Chain A
Amino acid sequence: MAAKIENQIRRLRFEQGEMTQQALAEAVGVTRQTIIAVEKGKYSPSLEVAFRIARAFGVGLEEVFQFE
């Protein structure tokens, strides 16, 4: 089970003009299903994918992921 890592992906997608999960997946280089799993907190991505997600939104890593 995913650890205590929360994320703001849903909010950030909304703020990016309702960016689709597919568009984010393509920007990051993973499958849409992995974005779904990360967004739901069912999968903690690698550091590289976490940085790519943050870069896709144009924000820092800690604005996307928070360790509880």
Chain B
Amino acid sequence: MLEVIGSMSFREKSVWISTAIMVWLWSWYASAVIPGIADGSITRAETVGLFVGMTVAVVVMEVIAHIILAIFSPRDANSGEDERDRMINRRAESHSAWMLGGGIITICMFTMFQDLTAVSVVHLLLLLLIAVEIATGALEILYYRRGM
């Protein structure tokens, strides 16, 4: 286990942390807030407040997690990204861009045939962006672990 962690660059550890935080917080948001929007028990103003609150929570948790990570591995934190980190990031983003495009087309088609409110469409688009971000992180982790 320690050998695996030792083989991770700061950038890879950062991706693990960011992806884990996003999966944890946004899956809670999706399970707790989306049903409330669907049945009308959560108002539009509350939805905006919850979304902004979640975004702030993700940012704060990421900052704290990265500070702790940098304290425990200062040399790796100072070494920055290298060509392998950049290549893995580019490859993951190029694949998730397809997911983003496909998701937008799907939402557009869905919106044409369903009577969706503007708030619902906005939520679908925001959830798509979050899903794409999580997918990018998952792909980066895959490329780091499997090799490329």
Q: Which residues of A contact B (CB under 8 A)?
A: 1-2, 29-34, 36-37, 40-43, 45-46, 49
- B contact patch SS: helix
Are B148 and A34 neighbours in the complex by a CB distance under 8 Å? no
Tell me if A45 and B83 are in contact (CB < 8 A): yes
The chain B residues found within 8 Å of chain A, CB to CB, are 7-10, 12, 76, 79, 82-85, 146-148
Would you call A33 and B148 a contact (CB within 8 A)?
no
Query: In whole angstroms, how far apart are the Cα atoms of A49 and B83 in the complex?
Result: 9
For residue B83, give the distance in angstroms from its CB to the closest CB of chain A.
6
Cβ of A1 and Cβ of B83 under 8 Å apart? no
5 contacts between A and B (CB under 8 A): A32-B9, A33-B8, A34-B83, A41-B147, A42-B148
Known: A30-B82, A31-B76. A37 touches B147 (CB 8 A): yes
Query: With contacts A34-B83, A37-B84 known, is A43 near B148, CB below 8 A?
Result: yes
